[in-house]
Amino acid sequence: MMMSTKRGIVSKIDATTRDITHIKVLLEGEEAAAINYNQLTGEIAEGDEVVLNTTAVELMLGTGGQHFVVHNLKNKVLQQSQSGHIMKLRYTPYQLKVMSVEEQDSPYHKVFNDFQSLQGFPVLVGTLHSMLLPVAATLKYINPHLNIAYIMTDAAALPIALSDNVRILKEKTILKDTITIGHAFGGDYECVNIYNALITAKEIARCDLAIVTMGPGIVGTATPYGFSGIEQGMLLDAVNDLGGMAIGIPRISFADERERHRGISHHSITVFSKITKTKSNMVLPKLEEMYRSHIMEQINELQLFEKHYIVEESGDLFPDVLRFFELEAKTMGRGHQQDKCFFLTGAASAVFTNRLFGMD
């Protein structure tokens, strides 16, 4: 259970923002890519000697397959200035305090005690982080006046700064606010859990709707319940518990070579057939008959028409969305042209949601 660590020298700063720095490090005579989280290990510069967590690279993992700075030997003392007393990454060497919006010293504390209902507030819930871009961009393309909140769970990457998609969507003002929950951190708002994050999106951020997914990376074990995206079921139920409009985004692909992910992925099948306890809107893209028949066979076999509201919408406008915002979309290393059904599903979910606002 031990992590692997090695020492290296920073040879190059590739890119830096307030919260994250992408670097190159000389490690055992070779140059390797690494990430420094400025909030955890401080500022970094060329020539600094650093201790790296090299575990993921040694295991040749696709998720987290880079080195991470554990300690910059130059930074003898680091002092966190942020107020608040809620700890994230609790009881680890990296625990950090944040001002959560619901804690007693927060100016928003009373909002949560006074809350009654989301009153139909639309919430789109996905599994993969790569669902965020097609959903958010399509929503904004159809209705530029929408204020969109993104809620990032702690089922995958914990620092929101790791997500290039979030950074780009914020820069292009497609996303208004971000909210990090559980042990995820770095959002515009910090929350203890999904319930208060949903309240924050509506009552504090004053957004028109929210999108919920984990951050970059997903854990899977090729077992029915052994994947981190299983949280989608509980998230959809949470939306319904608070009186929101729950919209589930299924994982659909015909480009994935693994049979268990063909059509509606076994992840989505498990979530929508076994995990959710309440009804949600499950949006399917309008596809060619050869693909549609496969998906409908899955839907009928699982009797999902009885458990959920199954809706079909066209996501064919998605290429226009990409061109308009000058975006590139990828999932599992595949672009839009290589995995059209995946991205059409996200776009279709956005089209359905925009109809709630009277937009087509």
State the chain's mean pLDDT as an integer: 93
Return the number of other C-beta atoms located less than 10 Å from residue 24's C-beta: 17
| Of 81-95, 102-116, 154-168, minimum mean pLDDT range | 81-95
User: How many whole angstroms separate alpha carbon 119 and alpha carbon 121?
Assistant: 6
pLDDT at 1: 63
In tens, the pLDDT along 245-255 reads: 999 999 999 88
**Which of 2-6, 91-95, 172-176 is the most confident on average?**
172-176
- Mean pLDDT over 333-337 rounds to 88
pLDDT tens, residue by residue, 301-316: 989 999 999 999 999 9
Structural domains of the chain ordered from first start = 5-72 (2.40.50.220), 109-355 (3.40.50)
Using pLDDT thresholds of 50, 70 and 90, give the confidence band for residue 6. very high
What pLDDT is stored for residue 81 in this prediction? 62
Please tell me the pTM assigned to this model: 0.95
Decide if pLDDT at 124 tops 90: yes
76 pLDDT tier (thresholds 50, 70, 90): confident
41, 32 contact by CB (below 8 A): no
Q: What is the pLDDT of residue 62?
A: 54
